[in-house]
Structure 1
Amino acid sequence: MFYRLSGIHHTRYESARALWPVTADRRIILGLLLLALAAPFLLSDLYLTSYMLPWLIWTAAALSLTLLMGIAGQLHFGFAAVMAIGAYTSIHLTRAGVPFELALLGAGLMAALIGCLFGAAALRVKGLYLVMATLAMQYLVEWTIINVPAISGGAQATLSTPDVTFLFVPLQSDGALYYTALLWTVVVTLLIMNIKRSSFGRALVAVRDKDFAASVIGVNPLKYKLLAFFASSFLGGVTGAVLAFCYYQAVTPEQFGFNVSIQLVAMVLVGGLGSVIGAYLGAGFVLLLPIVLTNLLAFVAQFDLIPISFNLLSHIPLMVYGALIIGVILFEPLGLAKIYDNIRKYFLVWPFRHTQS
């Protein structure tokens, strides 16, 4: 009875276009935001820095890729390279004395410019051919970072982040690092949600569905494809900088390899293409589920109920994790966000199930 459309009367365009027109949705969002703000006081430092912090940052990365893949429909298998550009740019700028706030902006602009260079391939090719262009970006950026000592210090070098302040708060304590990541994730979330409702977002959807049909109705596919790459790469570059300063605090080329790009694509696909809530669910599924499975199996193994070798025990979480990904895709191809949406729609009419269309 707490989740109803009854009593909601849209008498103004402002209320009809609200992000959360349903009262229950606003209460859920407010509750989750309050829990997120209280997390440093409710969780131990281990859970805060090992679970919540990376989940928020990788959610922001998945949202950045969602703008490009889910809304604009442009495939990108080199997004880790975009984040690497942002991470290394921000470190070098802050070492040169640039304030951290401006370094984040510079990281985003550098990633956006380089991302647009490779995104220009989308102007002529699409599908698997575009995938090959983004793969070329991934490997070229990796090679450049490793082989140019001025950027990374060398193939085996580790580049530490300097001590910085953000909005006059030193980024040294776990709480400050967490709230910085939380602020950026909330900003990206609101940005993506509003882009989806704007004329820019509708133009991207038109290009995604049928680019030549979009050009017929006055939407320039070339312009909006480049804008999609620019915006997505900008957000990815800033997210890479936040990842470097708030989580890694020291970066190496291996942290932004091709496997990271695949994980980001998996977050977007498993969560649900074009879905904001799907980015949160997909990041949690890909990032946290293997850890939970490993801890669960380690707990069960203490009782010696089933004789399992240590080698097999270390591979079981990966096997179960892969099977769960296949199961999600088979059971609901639209991702975890669609499962959530089905549950939400069920409660909108519960217990009058026959009213569902």
Structure 2
Amino acid sequence: MFFRQAGIKHTDYGADRELFPIPADRYMLWGLLALAVLAPVLVRDLTLNSYLLPWLIWTTAALGLNLVLGWAGQLHLGYAAVMAVGAYSGVHAARFGLPWEAAILIAGLSASVIGSLFAVAALRVKGLYLALTTLAMQFVMDWVLTHSPDITGGSHASLQAPPFRLLGQRIDTDAGLYYVALAWCVLVTIFLLNLRRTALGRALVAVREKDYAAAILGVNSFRYKLVAFAASAFIGGITGLLLVACFYFSVSPEQYNVNVSIQVLAMVIIGGLGSIIGSYFGAALILLTPGIANGLFAWGSELLGLQLSPETLAHVPNAAYGALIVGFLIVEPLGLGKIYGNIRNYFLVWPFGYVKK
């Protein structure tokens, strides 16, 4: 068996509450972390800054949205708005002369404050009404950004970010920017992994399942929903700023419009609600699959000698990409993270077959 449980003895509460009690899980985690650290040596710079770097940043954004959507069960269609608040507040703080460490903290706090203010009004409603309220938040932020030249410089202007520095050292190499994104992604992942084991995490799950039942048990559903929105917005604000500092190098209103909110929402849903590894899978599918599909269709048409028009080559991969997403959700509606869980559970008892249905 690949995931052997022989010899694992839960003799105390600490052992029972371990994140990864099965050794195979720990070995896989350390192996993936080693590959992530060695990625600047193993892959080309183009792959590093065009694929791995944005994947880590958008994975962190998906993790932040998953906190309020997957853990607390609150629909949120305005996540790009809080990312925009963090990006603009952090860039303005850095341009004002504050250290980047302070700018990052300001980005998170400002996004958390704005997200909490909208949440106070949004959490008076539920379900689709909550989704429409958060979508209205996104539209309000879009209007503010396009009609506030003092903040953005104009509807079609870009605000240049100052050189990125941490601990007094300028970070401008591909490897340095990648390690910053990796560190932030790992930090958020560790936070969410441990959130499951805390009273806060259990309260959020109780609110997600049934807030009335949680209230009967003494859980203040409104307060915990507000905490979820604030914490999620804090992560989103810092992620929005790091997206500018490490990848875009400038910020404009178009980078955080409603399409971005839908994109992050798709990452969470396809990856799996409440699934941490699913957020990684969902971000990879949304970001990387279109480029891979375009390359495969162009290579296949050239190999078969097919004369396809540029319009066909532009649209057929998108159709195949959409069909792939639908196919994954048909196979497992709970997302890619659940597919991974099913495979892992199979090998957990392999080669015994008594668990087959």
For this structure pair, what is the TM-score category when the shorter chain's length is used for normalisation? over 0.9
Whether 2:211 is the aligned partner of 1:196: answer no
How far did 1:4 drift?
1.1
AA partner of residue 296 (structure 2): L
Q: Report the counterpart of residue 13 of structure 1 in structure 2.
A: 13
Whether 2:235 is the aligned partner of 1:235: answer yes
TM-score (norm 1): 0.98
Q: Report the counterpart of residue 244 of structure 2 in structure 1.
A: 244
How far did 1:121 drift?
2.8
Instruction: Work out the CA distance in 2 between the residues paired with 1:119 and 1:67.
Output: 14
Q: Report the counterpart of residue 216 of structure 2 in structure 1.
A: 216
Q: Report the counterpart of residue 335 of structure 1 in structure 2.
A: 335
The answer on whether the counterparts of 2:122 and 2:134 sit within 8 Å (CA) in structure 1 is no
AA partner of residue 225 (structure 2): K
AA partner of residue 232 (structure 1): S
Structure 1 residues 334 and 254: CA distance shift in structure 2, 3 A = same
Deviates more, 1:140-149 or 1:267-276: 140-149
TM-score (norm 2): 0.98
The answer on whether the counterparts of 1:204 and 1:224 sit within 8 Å (CA) in structure 2 is yes
Any idea what the Cα deviations from partners look like across 1:16-43, whole Å, max 9, x if unmatched? 1111111000000000000000000011
Instruction: Work out the CA distance in 2 between the residues paired with 1:298 and 1:282.
Output: 24
Residues 1-357 of structure 1: matches in 2 within 5 Å?
1-355=1-355
Match of 1:27, SS? helix
AA partner of residue 33 (structure 1): L
Instruction: Work out the CA distance in 1 between the residues paired with 2:55 and 2:110.
Output: 25
Instruction: Work out the CA distance in 2 between the residues paired with 1:350 and 1:306.
Output: 45
Percentage of identical aligned residues: 53
Deviates more, 1:116-125 or 1:255-264: 116-125
Instruction: Work out the CA distance in 2 between the residues paired with 1:64 and 1:296.
Output: 32
Any idea what the Cα deviations from partners look like across 1:200-249, whole Å, max 9, x if unmatched? 01111111111111111000011111111100000100110111101111
Instruction: Work out the CA distance in 2 between the residues paired with 1:227 and 1:330.
Output: 33
Match of 1:278, SS? helix
Instruction: Work out the CA distance in 1 between the residues paired with 2:239 and 2:189.
Output: 12
How far did 1:356 drift?
5.9
How far did 1:193 drift?
1.0
Deviates more, 1:100-109 or 1:117-126: 117-126
Any idea what the Cα deviations from partners look like across 1:83-142, whole Å, max 9, x if unmatched? 111111110000111111111111011101111111113431011111111111111111
Any idea what the Cα deviations from partners look like across 1:286-332, whole Å, max 9, x if unmatched? 11111111111122232353332221111011101111111111110
The answer on whether the counterparts of 1:195 and 1:201 sit within 8 Å (CA) in structure 2 is yes
Instruction: Work out the CA distance in 2 between the residues paired with 1:63 and 1:220.
Output: 24
AA partner of residue 55 (structure 2): W
Structure 1 residues 330 and 150: CA distance shift in structure 2, 3 A = same
Deviates more, 1:97-106 or 1:46-55: 97-106
How far did 1:347 drift?
0.8
AA partner of residue 27 (structure 1): Y
Match of 1:303, SS? helix
How far did 1:156 drift?
1.1
Q: Which runs of 5+ in 2 are unaligned?
A: none
AA partner of residue 334 (structure 1): L
Match of 1:353, SS? coil
Match of 1:20, SS? coil
Deviates more, 1:101-110 or 1:300-309: 300-309
Instruction: Work out the CA distance in 2 between the residues paired with 1:290 and 1:11.
Output: 49
